[in-house]
């Protein structure tokens, strides 16, 4: 596994805690912070941004990844997620979003009192990926026999 050292994981998780201070969560009052670690060592924060139309709410993980991409950091090594409940792994949509940048990205989150590290591939097995899309091109107009 390509997990981070305990020291590096705690440093990234601390950046996620700091990001949660800037949350915009007036409806759920559920602040979430995230921090992305790029391969060059840059740490990029993000926080959840809610909207009165809940479907338009953006999770902290997607905000952090969007921020990273906007500054040219697409080689992602890890992402940490923090919420005050001490039990916040990324939601399904965020797992799919993180996976877009690689199945070996380390996800750091609290589970009870334990700081966990898992790859996004471990958190989202049998994922829909670019490889899935590439298979579609090979199939073309052929029918599938199930």
Alpha-carbon distance of 47 to 67, in angstroms, equals 10
Crossing angle of helices 92-99 and 60-70, rounded to 10°? 20
pLDDT tens for each residue of 50-74: 999 999 999 999 999 999 999 999 9
Query: How much is the pTM?
Result: 0.90
Q: Which of 50, 61, 100, 114 is catalytic?
A: 61
Q: What are the sequence ranges of the domains in the chain?
A: 6-139
| Candidates 2.40.50.660, 3.40.50.11810, 3.40.50.720, 3.40.140.10; CATH matching 6-139 | 3.40.140.10
Least confident of 5-19, 25-39, 43-57, 128-142: 128-142
pLDDT tens for each residue of 85-118: 878 899 999 999 999 999 999 999 999 899 999 9
Based on the residue annotation, tell me whether 61 is a catalytic residue of this protein.
yes
């Amino acid at each position: 596994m390509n997990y981070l050292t305990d020291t590096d994981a705690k440093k990234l998780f601390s950046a996620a805690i700091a990001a949660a201070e800037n949350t915009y969560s007036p409806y759920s009052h559920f602040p979430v912070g995230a921090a992305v670690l790029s391969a060059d060592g840059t740490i990029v924060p993000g926080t959840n941004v809610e909207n009165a139309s809940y479907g338009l709410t953006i999770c902290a993980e997607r905000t952090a990844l969007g921020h990273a991409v906007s500054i040219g950091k697409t080689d992602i090594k890890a992402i940490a997620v923090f919420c005050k409940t001490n039990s916040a792994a990324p939601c399904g949509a965020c797992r799919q979003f993180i996976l877009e940048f690689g199945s070996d990205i380390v996800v750091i989150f609290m589970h009870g009192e334990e700081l966990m590290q898992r790859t996004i591939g471990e958190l989202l097995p049998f994922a829909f990926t670019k490889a899935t899309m590439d298979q579609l091109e090979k199939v073309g107009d052929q029918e599938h026999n199930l």
